[in-house]
Structure 1
Amino acid sequence: MINQHLVSQTRRQFFSDCGVGLGKIALSSLLAQQALGQGTAAANTLNAANAERYRYPAKAKRVIYLFMAGAPSQLELFDYKPKLVELEGKPIPPEVIKGQRYAFIQSDAAILAPRFKFQKHGSSGVELSEVLPHLSKVADEIAMVRSVHTEQFNHSPAQLFLNTGSPIPGRPAIGAWLSYGIGNESKDLPAFVVLKSGGNLSGGASMWSPGFLPSSHQGVPFRSQGDPILHVSNPVGIENQAQRASLDLIEQLNQKQFQKVGDPEIQTRISAYEMAWRMQSAAPELMDFSKETKETLNLYGIDEKKPNEFARNCLLARRLAERGVRFIQVYQSGWDHHSNVEGGVKRLAGMTDQPAAALIQDLKQRGLLEDTLVVWGGEFGRTPMVEASAALGRTNGRDHHPQAFTMWFAGGGIKQGAIVGKTDELGFSVVEDPVHVHDVQATILHLLGIDHERLTFTYQGRPFRLTDVHGHRIDKILG
């Protein structure tokens, strides 16, 4: 029926339809309403029934993923290597990098020692950098994985790989998979929300795309202040009654069009309007921090005189988690320190350490941490060699390093104080408990009750999944 409709369209009709529908399509893209194809109750029931076939007992109900875009240096933060201090200024041993190519580092690149002091914390004795004083206070809540690795060397494909399981745009984001697989707890907010701070992201909007899943599962970017989504509030002079009447009329027209052509995306469009209507009431309360105590604001380091968007986003992430949002992605860009890794890490850690630790403390004291999984990490790590190029104006920085980097986890189903994985004495290669990006994704799904091998979607004649044909649970961090 759909094919017949498209064949019968003239070029003029096609562009006319697009012109009428662009605003609605854009709104649908922004709102990406509730998961599980909220357009029809039948679709909800069908997906809920299918979900039971691939679910484990869930330890977590939701995820807050703190994505440090740009790749923070694990050697300045989590993986202390005294051997680098001993060998600073000397060329990297040739056998270490034999057969490998780098974008900016020469084969005689000198070793760069960690720029900060480290100290053991908590009952686990995990070593943390001095630039993480707040995380050190919750050291016993986190599980540290120092052996994550990836095949992707450049920022855009590596960020896509962490978020979608593929370095190529067009695959569903992990939040979209969760929305599709287990749905949404919230009636008034999307299942998948994106919060950004620090500037542009190399991976772009593809990192919260629904890919080939129904567009209802797309991530919805929120702003940390004011209206969370532009143009959701009623225009000046439009009262709720008039807005409701307009929406009812639009729904009737869309339903007629759906009956005519049978395109399921029309149902997505209808649901997007309904979600926008509900969000007009829910969003202002969500963004209103006036009811938060002074102690809570201080905990996150929120100070109107010293704005910190990441701090606001972390508090907003907690508020979204309270309201049943399934997957909250908090992006902080700016970690790409090809030059002056010491100054760059100190600045970014100063912005992110307190809010990230506060999020753990705040969730715990509200009884939410036990079923909220918190994830922290970037797209790859940093080399033990210095990136020094006078021609490029780069000194005392570190290059991209996919062979080994660090992530930490806390909350729902995570073994407190676990330390997994080990790198060699130079922090170059993983020598114990290697963890692939697909293993991280499989573990996140497992903690939410999903078997990553069975959560699939058939597209272009074959089943796809987040972890492709790879991935194993990181059992050593599971509580």
Structure 2
Amino acid sequence: MSDLFPHLANVADHLCVVRSMVGELPLHGQSNLLLHTGRVLGQAPSIGAWISYGLGTENANLPAYVLLNNDWVPNGGLENFGSSFLPASHQATTMRAKGTAVDNIVPQDLPALQRQKLALLAESDAAFGAQTSNPQAIEAAIANYETAFRMQSIVPDLADISREPEHIQKLYGVDSTDEHQRFYATQAIRARRLVEAGVRFVEITCPSFDGNNSPWDQHTHLKLNHEKNARVTEQSVAALITDLHQRGLLDETIVLWAGEMGRTPAVAAINDS
């Protein structure tokens, strides 16, 4: 362990540290795609999409694959979270840290009117799908519409962490004075709630500082920037492990904290504070 991760040290008994994996290219975009899809060029379903395709969801009101994004797109783009040749219903559904978690999640119409609109849309799409060479794409779109309709009944409450006990919010770091840590802590609590609700695969992206879409890749000032990244994330990661364990969920949940590549101090341009 390291003194960068004081909270994580408290859950060391639950950790397995893997340092034997290697990448194929020293490029962030390709390495991110390799991490998520198994291919440096992507063009394949992400691991979350495969989990969704293979296992489905345990909750019909939620997708099987949810991305808790912190308002940035990592190197490699959204293909990191896509379904490629699998039906589009298996790609990630995004929940943002800031503002409304999911666009248009609060319905503007009464449920009966929404249902009528969905039925008309499904009928039109099905007729089109019968004439197209790729009916699976149309069927996936219909399934996505239905899932989105059902999500309206559960996502607003699920995304609202204000009713979490105060000691749980403090455990994750929601009370931090650093807004990046607050956002990450919020997403970590949502991750636990999604797991409880039956979502198969949940991914949280780390916060991005100063417009850097590879925030852990410091070419300069390693000590200063690593301390900042660790301060923002590690308390929430440790809290998630602790919280899952105390709720009896850790035995059936894999928590993977990973990056696409590493950089030794020797290759940094300026290794000072």
TM-score exceeds 0.5: yes
Which residue of structure 1 lines up, in the alignment, with residue 167 of structure 2?
Answer: 295
Unpaired runs of 5+ in structure 1? 1-127, 389-394, 398-479
Equivalent residue letter for 2:271: N
How many Å separate the matches in 2 of 1:374 and 1:215?
25
**Native 8 Å contact 1:135 1:354 kept in 2:** yes
Equivalent residue letter for 1:314: A
**Native 8 Å contact 1:224 1:316 kept in 2:** no
**Native 8 Å contact 1:170 1:209 kept in 2:** no
Cα distance 1:268–1:256, how it changes in 2: closer, same or farther (>3 A)? Answer: same
**Higher Cα Rg, which structure:** 1
Deviations 1:300-338 (A, max 9, x none): 010275432111111111011011111111111411100
Please, which of 302, 314, 318 is the counterpart of residue 188 of structure 2? 314
Residues 172-251 of structure 1: matches in 2 within 5 Å?
A: 172-197=45-70, 199-235=72-108, 238-251=109-122
Residues 121-140 of structure 1: matches in 2 within 5 Å?
A: 128-140=1-13
Unpaired runs of 5+ in structure 2? 209-214
Equivalent residue letter for 2:30: P
**Native 8 Å contact 2:34 2:42 kept in 1:** no
Equivalent residue letter for 1:396: N
Choose between structure 1 and 2 for higher RCO, CA contacts under 8 A separated by at least 6 residues: 1
How many Å separate the matches in 1 of 2:125 and 2:266?
59
Structure 1 residue 195, shift from structure 2 partner:
1.3
Give yes or no for the alignment of 1:256 onto 2:127.
yes
Equivalent residue letter for 1:358: A
Calculate percent identity across the aligned residue pairs: 39
Alignment TM-score, normalising by the size of structure 1: 0.53
**Native 8 Å contact 1:225 1:287 kept in 2:** no
Give yes or no for the alignment of 1:331 onto 2:212.
no
**Native 8 Å contact 1:184 1:325 kept in 2:** yes
**Native 8 Å contact 2:172 2:239 kept in 1:** yes
**Native 8 Å contact 1:226 1:287 kept in 2:** no
Deviations 1:234-272 (A, max 9, x none): 23xx22222222112212222222334462222112111
Query: SS where residue 145 of structure 1 aligns?
Result: coil
Give yes or no for the alignment of 1:286 onto 2:158.
yes
- Give the superposed CA RMSD: 1.7
How many Å separate the matches in 1 of 2:156 and 2:98?
10
Which residue of structure 2 lines up, in the alignment, with residue 143 of structure 1?
Answer: 16
How many Å separate the matches in 2 of 1:181 and 1:137?
34
Equivalent residue letter for 1:131: L
Equivalent residue letter for 1:374: V
**Native 8 Å contact 1:191 1:327 kept in 2:** yes
Structure 1 residue 221, shift from structure 2 partner:
1.4
**Native 8 Å contact 2:37 2:46 kept in 1:** yes
Please, which of 256, 275, 300 is the counterpart of residue 147 of structure 2? 275
Alignment TM-score, normalising by the size of structure 2: 0.90
Query: SS where residue 290 of structure 1 aligns?
Result: coil
How many Å separate the matches in 2 of 1:199 and 1:256?
38
